[in-house]
């Protein structure tokens, strides 16, 4: 194992992206905006990860690793000794490379790893940027060892928010139809800017679990999550609705699905 893989891993449970201070050893720019949503659900994330405690997890691959802060947090939470990241952004990878081994790759064109290399693969806030999910899921299945785990987090197309907005003819936030403007989305859903974030589409809980099963996974656990934002989305009514929706992940704003690579013996 390389020396930089032995360094103490950082736990992000006290991370606050709205604070002027950041993590020890990290600059204020270390947490990209697209990863802050996952970090704002860190309690939900760790509860999904807790299902893996006590299991043999030696190698972690984080897809869309960004600057590697979240990769290190996950590895630290589960005491995983070897962690690797993949991202398509060379600027973020320059920072990540100082913390973990990283590879530049486009998830829609394959992963540069041998078969059955990893025990756990994670992906957060990435699939909604892709045209189709098939090829990345097939590649994850290939690089996972038999019985390995795949943790996916993405916006829930079937969330209670989208179901309500559909009734009034609004476009779901995570199904964009333009690179230039945000069209048809309820303005009240935003706190600040209205700008496209390249979320092409996302999935309902039913669609995601069926697709994982189609590609050789068995769903191990499902959990709902809701980012803690400022503004309208952190208002008391929204917090109450989020709390109620968490009891039914199919209605929550975000979904965490932990799946296991099926084998003939499992």
pLDDT at 233: 56
pLDDT at 228: 61
pLDDT tens for residues 211-234?
999 999 999 999 998 776 544 556
More confident residue, 98 or 188: 98
- Strands 217-225 and 254-261, how do they pair? antiparallel
Decide if pLDDT at 38 tops 90: no
Decide if pLDDT at 205 tops 90: yes
Mean pLDDT score across all residues of the chain: 82
Tell me how far apart the alpha carbons of residues 74 and 76 are, in angstroms, rounded to a whole number: 5
Torsion of CA 108, 103, 205, 262, to 10 degrees: 90
One CATH from 3.40.50.150, 3.40.50.620, 1.20.120.450, 3.30.465.10 for 32-157+198-229+252-260: 3.40.50.150
Q: Which backbone phi and psi does 123 adopt, to 5 degrees?
A: -150, 125
* Helix, strand, coil % in the chain, rounded to nearest 5: 35, 20, 45
Tell me how far apart the alpha carbons of residues 12 and 74 are, in angstroms, rounded to a whole number: 9
pLDDT at 162: 93
pLDDT tens for residues 58-82?
999 999 999 998 899 899 999 999 9
Tell me how far apart the alpha carbons of residues 265 and 262 are, in angstroms, rounded to a whole number: 8
Backbone conformation region of residue 181, classed left if phi is above 0, alpha if psi is from -120 to 50, else beta = beta
Residue found under tokens 């973990």 = 100
> Per mean pLDDT, which range of 159-173, 188-202, 237-251 is the poorest?
188-202
Mapped onto helix, strand or coil, the DSSP state of residue 232 is helix
Tell me how far apart the alpha carbons of residues 241 and 246 are, in angstroms, rounded to a whole number: 9
Contact 107, 129 (CB under 8 A): no
Enumerate the domain spans of the chain.
Answer: 32-157+198-229+252-260
Q: What is the DSSP letter of 170?
A: P
Tell me how far apart the alpha carbons of residues 146 and 164 are, in angstroms, rounded to a whole number: 41
End-to-end CA distance of the chain: 31
pLDDT tens for residues 239-255?
788 888 888 999 999 99
Give the chain's radius of gyration (CA, Å): 18
Stated pTM of the model: 0.83
Provide the pLDDT confidence category of residue 182 given band limits of 50, 70 and 90: confident
pLDDT at 252: 93
């Amino acid at each position: 194992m390389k020396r930089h893989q032995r360094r103490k891993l950082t736990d992000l449970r006290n991370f606050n992206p709205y604070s002027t201070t950041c993590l020890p050893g990290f600059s204020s720019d270390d947490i990209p905006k697209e990863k802050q949503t996952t970090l704002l659900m860190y309690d939900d994330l760790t509860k999904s990860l807790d299902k893996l405690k006590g299991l043999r997890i030696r190698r972690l691959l984080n897809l869309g690793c960004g600057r590697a802060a979240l990769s290190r947090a996950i590895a630290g939470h589960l005491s995983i000794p070897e962690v690797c990241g993949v991202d398509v952004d060379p600027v973020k990878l320059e920072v990540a490379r100082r913390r973990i081994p990283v590879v530049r790759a486009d998830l829609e064109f394959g992963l540069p790893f041998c078969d059955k290399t990893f025990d756990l693969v994670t992906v957060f806030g990435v699939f909604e940027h892709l045209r189709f999910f098939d090829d990345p899921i097939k590649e994850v299945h290939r690089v996972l060892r038999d019985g390995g785990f795949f943790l996916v987090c993405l916006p829930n197309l079937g969330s209670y928010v989208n179901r309500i907005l559909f009734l009034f003819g609004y476009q779901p936030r995570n199904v964009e139809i333009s690179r230039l403007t945000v069209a048809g989305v309820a303005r009240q859903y935003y706190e600040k800017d209205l700008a496209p974030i390249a979320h092409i589409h996302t999935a309902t809980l039913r669609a995601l679990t069926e697709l994982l099963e189609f590609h050789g996974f068995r769903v191990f656990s499902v959990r709902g999550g809701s980012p803690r934002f400022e503004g309208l989305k952190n208002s008391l009514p929204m917090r109450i609705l989020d709390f109620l929706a968490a009891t039914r992940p199919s209605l929550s704003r975000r979904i965490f699905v932990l799946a296991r690579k099926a084998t003939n013996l499992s």
